[in-house]
Amino acid sequence: MTARTIPLPSPDLYYPASGVSVVTALRERRSQHEFAAEHLSLTVLGTLLNESAGLTEVFGRGTPSPGRAYPVSCVVAACAVDGLPAAFYRYDPREHTLAPLDTEVAPREWLQRVLANRTIADTEAAHVFAVGDPRSAEQHFGPNADRFLMLEAGQLVQSMLLVAQHQKIGACTIGRFDQAEAQALLGPATGGGPVLHSAAFGHYPEARVQSAAHRSAA
Ligand SMILES: Cc1cc2nc3c(=O)[nH]c(=O)nc-3n(C[C@H](O)[C@H](O)[C@H](O)COP(=O)(O)O)c2cc1C
């Protein structure tokens, strides 16, 4: 671990039931296109990452990976997370740490330029990008490499959406971003791989907190 690496709260082996079942989470999941001006806690972000992408001896990984190759990494653009300077970080799924990327680029401004949806970029607290390692994929999957990278990235983001819903955190899966810009900034940190998919996270705005659908999951 380098001096600047940030440990995330340990995965909770007895992750408490929030009362939101998988079926309820699926029924209540809706893309959130605007978020409250409230920071996410490091625990919420850590849980999102740990439960979807984290690798533990006890649980393996929440999201499946062909042949347990795990060729898709998570890069976080943290805009408003308590205890986390606004910056880009690579998630280490075994150590449960965030390592800053070697860049001075400000995440909010960058997201505002790169995402097609400006309101999301203006208000989200954190954005997670799924970045593939094509060499690992080629080595493990051969002719299926491109397809398996995309499939794993999709499953990874879906896991995050469900964990977000479980925590009653707003989320939106985001496929429309400037591929070339994303690749240029995030690719080198992850072996130069393609930026495959992404999702935005933040607290619900007041209107959604008040909605009947949200209250029914309480
Ligand atoms: C692969 C994929 C890419 C998407 N990309 C975006 C996006 O770039 N921006 C956005 O606002 N929503 C995006 N969405 C969200 C869809 O627009 C949304 O799921 C759809 O409108 C249905 O609404 P719901 O998610 O609330 O059910 C994407 C969804 C998928 C599955």
The answer as to whether 84 is a domain residue is: yes
The answer as to whether 116 is a domain residue is: yes
User: Cα(2) to centroid of ligand 1, in Å?
Assistant: 37
The answer as to whether 21 is a domain residue is: no
The domain containing residue 94 runs over which residues?
A: 34-216
Give the HSE-up count for residue 97: Cα atoms under 13 Å, Cβ half-sphere.
12
pLDDT tens for residues 155-206? Answer: 999 999 999 998 999 999 999 999 999 999 998 877 778 999 999 999 999 8
Helices and strands: H and E segment counts in the chain: 9, 7
SS3 195: strand
The answer as to whether 99 is a domain residue is: yes
pLDDT at 2 over 60: no
Q: Ligand 1: which residue has its CA nearest to atom 31?
A: 173
CA distance 22 to 164: 11
CATH number at residue 164: 3.40.109.10
How many domains is the chain partitioned into structurally? 1
Give the pLDDT confidence score for residue 9 in this predicted structure: 87
User: Cα(157) to centroid of ligand 1, in Å?
Assistant: 12
Q: Ligand 1: which residue has its CA nearest to atom 17?
A: 31
The answer as to whether 23 is a domain residue is: no
Share the mean pLDDT of the chain.
91
Collect all residues with Cβ–Cβ distance below 8 Å to 147 and sequence separation of at least 6: none
Ligand 1, pocket-test mutation among 172, 176, 196, most atoms within 8 A of CB: 172
Q: Ligand 1: which residue has its CA nearest to atom 18?
A: 31
Residue bearing tokens 């653009």: 77
Whether the Cβ atoms of residue 100 and residue 11 lie closer than 8 Å to each other: no
The answer as to whether 129 is a domain residue is: yes
DSSP 95-130: TTEEEE-S----HHHHHHHHBS-HHHHHH-SEEEEE
Q: Ligand 1: which residue has its CA nearest to atom 23?
A: 31
- 187 DSSP assignment: T
Whether the Cβ atoms of residue 40 and residue 80 lie closer than 8 Å to each other: yes
Q: Ligand 1: which residue has its CA nearest to atom 22?
A: 31
Give the pLDDT confidence score for residue 218 in this predicted structure: 44
User: Cα(71) to centroid of ligand 1, in Å?
Assistant: 24
The dihedral of CA 77, 164, 116, 35: what is its sign? negative
Give the pLDDT confidence score for residue 1 in this predicted structure: 46
Percentage of the chain modeled with pLDDT above 70:
91
Taking residues 202-212, report their average pLDDT. 83
- 217 DSSP assignment: T
The answer as to whether 15 is a domain residue is: no
The answer as to whether 29 is a domain residue is: no
Q: Which residues line ligand 1 (CB under 6 A)?
A: 30-31, 33, 116-117, 172-176
pLDDT at 76 over 50: yes
Give the pLDDT confidence score for residue 17 in this predicted structure: 60
